[in-house]
Structure 1
Amino acid sequence: MRLQKLGVTHVLNVAEGTSFMHVNTSPEFYAGTGITYHGIPANDTEDFNLSAFFEEGADFIDKGLAHHNGKGKVYVHCREGYSRSPTMVVAYLMMRHKMDARLALATVRHKREVGPNDGFLRQLCQLNEKLAKEGKLNGEVGKTKTK
């Protein structure tokens, strides 16, 4: 009910699962609420490949924000809101808003304290390198073309 009152139309759970370090929700949990749910079964460990879900997460966030003619609201969460979900939001900002990793992380940190684990930070750095090489980051396009 609280999410509905806040106008949330979509929920992205970046910690889907039944173990202690996960959040046990599913599409059925949100049935009848009008909220669209998507879950990613991510572990908050340095060796977990969250980057395999970056595109999927960004697509879901895009669709959610576009809902109701751009008035959709997406709630992205994990168990603590400190590592997994912020990593997904940073990747989204990089991929869809052409922010480099530092700016995207600073943007999220401006709103709340976050701390992606070292493995997730490495994956964001790898994404940054890939997007920079492809000329898909603001401020990086000129650098890429002059090399």
Structure 2
Amino acid sequence: MDAVTNGFFSTVLTVQHESEFSSKKRLFCSSMVSRKPSTISRISCKVSGGGMEDNPTRTSSSSGTKMEDYNIAMKRMMRNPYEYHHDLGMNYTHIVQNLIVGSQPQKPEDIDHLKHQENVAYILNLQQDKDIEYWGIDLGSIVNRCKELGIRHMRRPATDFDPESLRRGLPKSVSSLEWAIQEGKGRVYVHCTAGLGRAPAVAIAYMFWFCDMNLNTAYEKLTSKRPCGPNKRAIRGATYDLTKNDPWKEPFESLPEHAFEDIADWERKLIQERVHALRGT
């Protein structure tokens, strides 16, 4: 197979079937865990009928090729075994109260589902335009349906499979998420393309910075509910960036591997102040 150069790739990838991934399980979001008083976890799935096959310009074969290429890129760049199945439709997971992390809505009917079944009042989209175009999503129709239903649609684009782009974008993304949660008009749906990298990283950073958790606790809380592989180093880097006051401070790249997996109370307060200051930017 030739090198994949589709829009959402920032790196040219050579597609190969490697035995090291043959034994790794696929991620299927097809189960629902009922919520009890002792837990708030629930995995929910809604299949957008027809998926990419609804578009007459695409065949099931081309749809399968897109998913295969995307999943190989994800395994190579994110070092995790999870896969995205676009043809199964939107899938999502309840993380904490009023926060849902999931994959991209594919059609206006998905917005209706989020509004009426999940009481979603805000959507935070982390995709770049080229991600949306790659999957043939009509973003205009989705945004229009959000307006009709009174859902606030927000965008904080970050480059897929790029930890440095994620690191730079986390403060503003968390600012939008924290603002929406504080508004309290309904749940917030955070998504990227597959809901396995950028979106869970934003949710973890929010829990780390605003919910009195260290990074490992927040990471485990999310990944125990939604199996995924967000980049922990990007979150540590963004945490360092927000707490850095001294221009002569040691560069993040030279710090120990586990630096900034936890922070002092004064550092958390400083982060919160700086994230709040990003509102509206």
Greater share of residues in helix: 1
Residue of 104, 115, 121 corresponding to 2:232 = 121
Is residue 95–residue 131 contact of structure 1 (8 Å, CA) maintained in 2?
Answer: no
User: Using the alignment, how far apart are the partners of 1:96 and 1:32 within structure 2?
Assistant: 31
Partner letter of residue 120 of structure 2?
A: V
Is 1:8 the counterpart of 2:139? The answer is: no
Is residue 170–residue 235 contact of structure 2 (8 Å, CA) maintained in 1?
Answer: no
Residue of 121, 136, 143 corresponding to 2:268 = 136
Q: Structure 1 residues 55 and 34, CA, compared in 2 at 3 Å: closer, same or farther?
A: same
How many residue pairs end up in the alignment?
132
1:34 positional shift: 0.5
Q: Of the two, which has the highest radius of gyration? A: 2
Q: Structure 1 residues 15 and 22, CA, compared in 2 at 3 Å: closer, same or farther?
A: farther
Partner letter of residue 13 of structure 1?
A: N
Q: Structure 1 residues 48 and 21, CA, compared in 2 at 3 Å: closer, same or farther?
A: farther
* Percentage identity across paired residues of the two chains: 23
Q: 1:42 — aligned with what?
A: 158
Is residue 11–residue 36 contact of structure 1 (8 Å, CA) maintained in 2?
Answer: yes
Q: 2:277 — aligned with what?
A: none
Q: 2:175 — aligned with what?
A: 59
Q: 2:210 — aligned with what?
A: 96
Note the aligned Cα RMSD (angstroms): 2.7
Is residue 164–residue 234 contact of structure 2 (8 Å, CA) maintained in 1?
Answer: no
Equivalent residue of 2:120, what SS? coil
User: Using the alignment, how far apart are the partners of 2:137 and 2:171 within structure 1?
Assistant: 21
1:65 positional shift: 1.7
Is residue 23–residue 79 contact of structure 1 (8 Å, CA) maintained in 2?
Answer: no
In structure 2, stretches of 5+ residues that fail to align are 1-111, 241-259, 270-281
Is residue 4–residue 33 contact of structure 1 (8 Å, CA) maintained in 2?
Answer: yes
1:29 positional shift: 5.2
Larger RCO, structures 1/2 (Cα 8 Å, 6+ apart): 1
Q: 2:130 — aligned with what?
A: 18
TM-score normalised to the size of structure 2? 0.42
Residue of 52, 71, 80 corresponding to 2:194 = 80
Q: Structure 1 residues 81 and 23, CA, compared in 2 at 3 Å: closer, same or farther?
A: farther
Per-residue Cα deviation, 1:34-53 (whole angstroms, up to 9, x for no partner): 00011122122235421222
Partner letter of residue 2 of structure 1?
A: H
Q: Structure 1 residues 101 and 2, CA, compared in 2 at 3 Å: closer, same or farther?
A: same
User: Using the alignment, how far apart are the partners of 1:130 and 1:107 within structure 2?
Assistant: 15
In structure 1, stretches of 5+ residues that fail to align are 138-147
Partner letter of residue 124 of structure 2?
A: L
Using the TM superposition, name which of 80-89 and 29-38 deviates more: 29-38
Partner letter of residue 268 of structure 2?
A: K
Equivalent residue of 1:37, what SS? strand
Is residue 54–residue 92 contact of structure 1 (8 Å, CA) maintained in 2?
Answer: no
Q: 2:147 — aligned with what?
A: 31
User: Using the alignment, how far apart are the partners of 1:47 and 1:24 within structure 2?
Assistant: 27
1:56 positional shift: 1.7
